[in-house]
Every structure is written in structure tokens, then in C-alpha cells.
Amino acid sequence: MSPNFKLQCHFILILLTALRGESRYLEVQEAAVYDPLLLFSANLKRDLAEEQPYRRALRCLDMLSLPGQFTFTADRPQLHCAAFFIGEPEEFITIHYDLVSIDCQGGDFLKVFDGWILKGEKFPSSQDHPLPTMKRYTDFCESGLTRRSIRSSQNVAMVFFRVHEPGNGFTITINTDPNLFPCNVISQTPSGRFTLVVPYQHQNCSFSIIYPVAIKISDLTLGHLHGLQLKKPAAGCGGTGDFVELLGGTGLDPSKMMPLADLCYPFLGPAQMKISCDNAVVRMVSSGKHINRVTFEYRQLEPFELETSTGNSIPEYCLSSL
């Protein structure tokens, strides 16, 4: 991560731990109201054999990637708290209120956000999410228990909360449901393989990898053409209506990232690109007239690759600030 990006951080970074125990730091911010929070480190996946369902206390700043029941109880006024939830790529997340004891009139709140907000940036972006930003929030103090369960539109969701009175808090249950056609995904791991399919739907779908990675496109099926070309100032695939683009940046919102390559023209064999940014995104734009599919593999770049990226890569945009 570049020094300039670190200098821009107003808050302590949250630890995103991969299933294999690897980690990545992400900044947490909604608007500009958070005080610095302590960094924590924990395995996202736990052995569930001993206890079903999994239960534990929820921290003021927390991240979880497994179903279970989680209880937050304030031991002192907790004013700037957030819990991040992430499922498998092919899962929706449902947050169910079991018990809530907060003082809405006294300034407490409990809000679910459909997606993630990190450093003031959203995933999915406003361009890629089916709902406007304000409708992605569900405020307990406004809806109460009339809306007891909230399901995400993708494999990530989060809860913002503030509790002033010690002893107050809430209990929530996290469940996951299968998503047959995942559209927007944050990867739990720095390496893997995924197929993004958009069947006759007019929507944009992003697969986000919060690591510098090498991406190899092994299969591309669009409604018209196939291929890869590096993005040029006055050229690109935008006019085709259906295409895939590779993006890179230091934040979370794909709409604020640098387009690095378009995929819509014929090419022979697999196409590979190294993206030396803190965040890499494979994004499919679909007109709704065709079945579009892209299969890709990705792996985290080694430190020496970040220092010596050459060939079919675009290191300048992300590494120029080192």
C-alpha cells in the first residue's frame, strides 16, 4: 500500500483476513464521524464442530465470514462501531434481529447497509447496485422490528451502531442463502477462480479483489465479439454495449478506479494482466440482450513482482505514488 494512501487514512484500518490466515488492511469510514479504532486480528473462519450454531460476542469493530448468532453488549458508551460481514461469492447474507435494547431517543442507532463502506467509498458502487444509496440503509430506529430480517444483494453487508448506556445492546443472527447468479462480489481470498455470468440482464457486475494480483482471463463469451485491448484515450469497448473491463485503484468503489483494459475484441489463447494496485476489479457491463460470461483466475502478486512489474502490466498508475 502506498505511503500517500496511508497518509490519507483518517482512521485505523480494519483487518481483512483470508480463509488461509492471510491478511489485508482496509480503512473504515462512514461520512466523517469515526474516531480512531483499535486494530484487531482474528480468523474469519472458525471450527464449528464444537458448537452449532456458532455464537460469540460482537466487538465494536468486527468482521465475520460465517453464519451464527452474535451479541453486542456495551460496557461503556460505544459511539463509532461497525461490523462487516462477508460470505462466499455465491451467497446472500441475511441479518436477523433477535433482540434489540437501545435508546433511539437518546442518540443510539442500529443500521444495516447493503454492501460495504470503507474510507467513505461504497461497494457495490452506486452504478452497480440496483438500489439508490439511501435505500441501501435499513435503520432500526425508524423501522423497529417490523422489518426483522434484512437480506443483502451480494456477499457483503455491514452494520453500523452506537450504544451509549452500558448494558444495552443487541443480538443478531447471520444466515446465508445461495445466489445462483452472483453479480457483485468481494473475494475473501487473494487467489482463486471464478466465473461471472450475466444472463439477459441490463446491469453491471463487479468482482473485487483487495490485493495486487495477476489476473488470467481463460474464457470470455459475450453477445457479439470477444477479445482484449489496452484502453486508449479515445477508444474502448463502451460503444459495444457488452464488455468486460479490468480496473485498478487504492479505494473500494469501482466507479472511482482507473480503467486498465477492455475485453471485447478477438484474441487467441488466455489473456493475462498484472494489476499492481491495492484493489483490482473485473467488471462486466451488460446490455441485457445477451448471455455474457467471463471466467478468470487470480493470484496475489509477490513482493518482487510489485517491484519489477513489466510486460503486459500497468504498474505506473498504482506504483507512481510509492
pLDDT in tens, 279-319: 999 999 988 888 889 999 999 998 878 765 544 544 455 65
> According to the model, what pLDDT value does residue 252 have?
92
Q: What does the pLDDT average to over 108-127?
A: 94
pLDDT of 92 reads 97
Q: What is the mean pLDDT of residues 57-78?
A: 95
Distances (CA, A) of 16 to 12, 23, 121, 154, 181: 13, 5, 16, 17, 25
Confidence class for position 47, pLDDT limits 50, 70, 90: very low
Exposed/middle/buried for residue 245 (C-beta within 10 Å: 0-12, 13-18, 19+): buried
How much is the pLDDT for 129?
A: 93
Higher pLDDT, 233 or 312: 312
pLDDT at 231 over 80: no
Q: What is the DSSP letter of 102?
A: -
Does position 233 have pLDDT exceeding 90, yes or no? no
Q: What is the pLDDT of residue 236?
A: 62
Mean pLDDT of the chain: 79
CA gap 246, 243 in Å, rounded: 10
- Residue 65, pLDDT above cutoff 70: yes
Provide the β-strand partners of residue 141.
none
Percent helix / strand / coil, the chain, rounded to 5: 10, 45, 45
- pLDDT value of residue 52: 67
Inform me whether the pLDDT recorded for 95 exceeds 70.
yes
| Most confident residue range from 168-177, 197-206, 309-318 | 168-177
Instruction: Determine the Cα–Cα distance for residues 105 and 296; give it in Å rounded to an integer.
Output: 50
CA distance 72 to 157: 17
Whether residue 72 is predicted with pLDDT greater than 90 in this model: the reply is: yes
* Contact criterion met (CB below 8 Å) for 180 and 191: no
Q: How does residue 38 score in pLDDT terms, banded at 50, 70 and 90?
A: very low
How far apart are alpha carbons 215 and 248 in whole angstroms? 12
230 CB-side CA count, 13 A:
8
- Write out the E strands in 167-307: 169-178, 185-186, 192-199, 204-209, 213-221, 229-230, 243-249, 258-263, 271-275, 279-285, 291-300
The length of the chain in residues reads: 322
Average pLDDT over residues 186-215: 93
Over the stretch 134-144, which tens digit does the pLDDT of each residue have? Answer: 999 999 999 88
Backbone angles phi, psi at 210, to 5 degrees: -90, 55
Cα 171 from Cα 169, distance rounded (Å) = 7
